[in-house]
Structure 1
Amino acid sequence: MTHRILRVILALFYFAAGIIHLIAPKPFLTIMPLWVPAPEAVVLLTGIAEILGAVGLVQGFSLPLRKAAAIGLALYAVCVFPANIKHFIIDMTKADGGLGLGYHVPRMFAQPVFVWLALWCGGVTDWPWRKVAR
């Protein structure tokens, strides 16, 4: 039951984020690392990836599809980490501190949790509650 509830919450989060990427890409473009090619296309594609990942995570007819969506969302969370770092740097250099450490530090620690949560909710891993074989 907990898997299902957290899977729906995570899917809603990613679905909403995907929609925001599509309808309001400008904030995402400002935190895009300079080395990323075609930033407008990347923001568009990440929005689509979030939406598809969210749908795949909550669909009920294919466990392999759910697991693939979970892996995709976990990889997505890893891939956007450089943008999170750039956002942190941009904000900390603002005279007012931007969103501040109270926002950015938890966000940095949350990123690995999002990776794990996608994998756990999608049934890819059961760590740390794995039953030990005896």
Structure 2
Amino acid sequence: MRATPGRLLPPTLPRSAVVLAALFVVAGAAHLVRPEIFDRIVPPGLPLAARSATLMSGVAEIAGGVGLLHPATRPAARWGLLALLVAVFPANIFMAQHPERFGLPAWALWARLPLQPLLMWAVWRAGRRPGTQR
């Protein structure tokens, strides 16, 4: 691979994939390092222990983030991260409905809900195979 002047990343590694990979790896690591924070946002009634859900989502975030970094795994990472974002959306709604449990302003928790589809769109775009526009 030849370096292009002014370009730090190889042509098959879009900057958006690097940014999202970093976001998901850091978020996933936080789930593993401080799971008690994330256990609190797991909605009641889930047929899974809160700690299990926290750890599984953390591992999935790390795997998806790392997967975005290689062209061969990028499409699978895209689908995995999209599924993860859909799966954790109820936790975001739960937080918005019960802001007193989290010590955060209700408006901020409600305002972040529309950011989820934007994050999904970013994952969709970053997870494309190199050279594709779909």
Coarse TM-score class (shorter-chain normalised): 0.7 to 0.9
Residue-pair matches, total = 120
Show structure 1 runs of 4+ deviating over 3 A.
124-127
Greater fraction helix: 1
> Any conservation in 1 of the 2:24–2:64 contact (CA below 8 Å)?
yes
User: In the aligned structure 2, how far is the partner of 1:88 from the partner of 1:98?
Assistant: 11
Specify the alignment match of 2:57 in structure 1.
46
> Any conservation in 2 of the 1:58–1:66 contact (CA below 8 Å)?
yes
Query: Which secondary structure does the structure 2 equivalent of 1:58 belong to?
Result: coil
> Any conservation in 1 of the 2:67–2:77 contact (CA below 8 Å)?
yes
Specify the alignment match of 2:82 in structure 1.
74
User: In the aligned structure 2, how far is the partner of 1:15 from the partner of 1:108?
Assistant: 21
2:68 aligned residue (23, 42, 57): 57
User: In the aligned structure 2, how far is the partner of 1:113 from the partner of 1:66?
Assistant: 19
User: In the aligned structure 1, how far is the partner of 2:36 from the partner of 2:133?
Assistant: 37
Gaps of 5+ in 1: 128-134
> Any conservation in 1 of the 2:21–2:64 contact (CA below 8 Å)?
yes
Report the TM-score when normalising by structure 2.
Answer: 0.80
| 1:50-129 correspondence to structure 2 within 5 Å | 50-60=61-71, 62=72, 65-91=73-99, 94=100, 98-123=103-128, 126=133
Gaps of 5+ in 2: 1-10
User: In the aligned structure 2, how far is the partner of 1:106 from the partner of 1:6?
Assistant: 23
User: In the aligned structure 1, how far is the partner of 2:55 from the partner of 2:133?
Assistant: 32
User: In the aligned structure 1, how far is the partner of 2:111 from the partner of 2:16?
Assistant: 19
> Any conservation in 2 of the 1:74–1:114 contact (CA below 8 Å)?
no
Specify the alignment match of 1:32 in structure 2.
42
User: In the aligned structure 2, how far is the partner of 1:4 from the partner of 1:12?
Assistant: 13
> Any conservation in 2 of the 1:7–1:58 contact (CA below 8 Å)?
yes
Name the % identity.
34
Aligned amino acid, residue 71 of structure 1: W
